[in-house]
Amino acid sequence: MAAGSYWQKYTVVRDLADFTTRLQAGNLSNCIMRGIDVSLMCVNWESVDTENAVFLGCKFAGIEEEIKLRRKGAQLFAPFIGLPYDPYRTTLYTPSELMSGFDIAHAGNSCYDAQIYRHFSEHGGHDPDIVEALVQRIHDYSIDLAIKDLLGTDPKTGLPTRKAVGFMGGHATRRDDFHYRNTAILARMVARAGYFVVSGGGPGIMEAANLGAYLATADDGALDRAIKILSQVPNFSQPDGSIDPGYVGQALEVLKLYPKGAENLAIPTWFYGHEPVNMFASHVGKYFSNSIREDGLLAISVYGVVFAPGSAATIEEVFINAAQNHYATFNFCSPMMFLGESHYLQSQVYSCLAQQAVGHTYAQMIAISDQPERILEFLQAHPPINFNGHDAGITA
């Protein structure tokens, strides 16, 4: 999720206060302004350096002002019209924002999230036309930046300030399943140990991870009470494939009981827009592109990734993560932990990974267990290894 070298010479200005400060100093050179309403401000542009300034989706008083800025060396990208979402947004989503307009009688088909999904589907889905593709890429880049802002960066180590640990696993795992509870228990332990839980943002194992993290600050009996409530509607999908409205309804009951949970992050995609919103994430980085979302989710989980049982998509994520470690793609080697011995041993995924890792640094960063306590111990004992771009064990 790192910005390319071309953009690194720019300073991104994302709020009115920062913009006003720079405006008063008379210098917007090499700045990127995103989604700022300038139309109500009386600006003497002659006194402001706007060479190489870029205005993305900003509003101006009139065409004359825009022409003046272009003549002074600025680039302007007008706001897009007719979209249900803002491609230039500067913050992550929240569950309440995505669920605004939710009507339980209609399984949430009128909520904001559903409106965006309908737009996505009606404009080509994974194969959009050129204008929609451009807008989606701008939106997803905006989400990239918002996630980077949330996690922060330690200038000395290059590691995220928040110790992100990713949780992967099956979206179809029921709320009354052993692996759902086990994942939630581990996620709560991980959050209590000072790590920042990140999931793929969907139902099943992903919801369990966000639930466990959300209840990290609650009493010890909170998780059992929450799962009992949620298990009354254990599966999000009804026989006809539609979302069971009670699935979200039971999550809302848990939120009523525990309205203030710990922070955590979900990173879903409208590629799977038929899935309900994960209600237990405090921050939601929702993407249009599943490939960008999937690779980025693993990339930011620098402190480790937990793989609970899942199907083909989870196996794919295992080996995407393995490739990132194998080639030190982001200059760090991170733990890969499997919460589900029989599942990953019988499928031979674990043995295949272990064989591939022989002779490489990440061979020492792989663990498997059914016990959340052992996974947490391994996580704490294996911080990320910084290669500084070099790993003598790397081969093609």
Q: How would you label 198-219 residue by residue, b for 16+ Cβ within 10 Å and e otherwise?
A: bbbbbbbbbbbbbbbbbbbebe
The CA-atom distances, in angstroms, between 306 and each of 108, 310, 316, 330, 335 are 30, 12, 14, 18, 8
pLDDT surpasses 60 at 79: yes
* Euclidean distance between CA atoms 358 and 367, whole angstroms: 14
pLDDT surpasses 50 at 124: yes
pLDDT surpasses 90 at 107: no
pLDDT surpasses 60 at 278: yes
pLDDT category of residue 5 using cuts at 50, 70 and 90? very low
pLDDT surpasses 60 at 108: no
60 with 39: CB under 8 angstroms? yes
- DSSP reduced 3-state for 271: helix
Q: Which two tokens stand for residue 375?
A: 């996974």
Chain mean pLDDT for the chain: 92
Q: In the prediction, which pLDDT does 24 show?
A: 94
- Percent of the chain exceeding pLDDT 70 equals 95
pLDDT surpasses 60 at 374: yes
* Euclidean distance between CA atoms 121 and 288, whole angstroms: 11
Q: In the prediction, which pLDDT does 105 show?
A: 66
Q: In the prediction, which pLDDT does 391 show?
A: 39
* Euclidean distance between CA atoms 39 and 58, whole angstroms: 9
Q: Which of 27-41, 46-60, 106-120, 170-184 is predicted least confidently?
A: 106-120
The 3-state secondary structure of 14-42, one letter per residue: CCHHHHHHHHHCCECCCEEEECCECCCCC
pLDDT category of residue 396 using cuts at 50, 70 and 90? very low
The average pLDDT across 164-173 equals 97
Q: Which of 6-20, 181-195, 253-267 is predicted least confidently?
A: 6-20
The average pLDDT across 322-351 equals 95
Q: In the prediction, which pLDDT does 106 show?
A: 61
Q: In the prediction, which pLDDT does 15 show?
A: 85
Radius of gyration of the chain (CA): 23
Q: Which of 106-115, 133-142, 222-231, 232-241 is predicted least confidently?
A: 106-115
The average pLDDT across 1-15 equals 62
pLDDT tens-digit profile of 210-230? 999 999 999 999 999 999 999
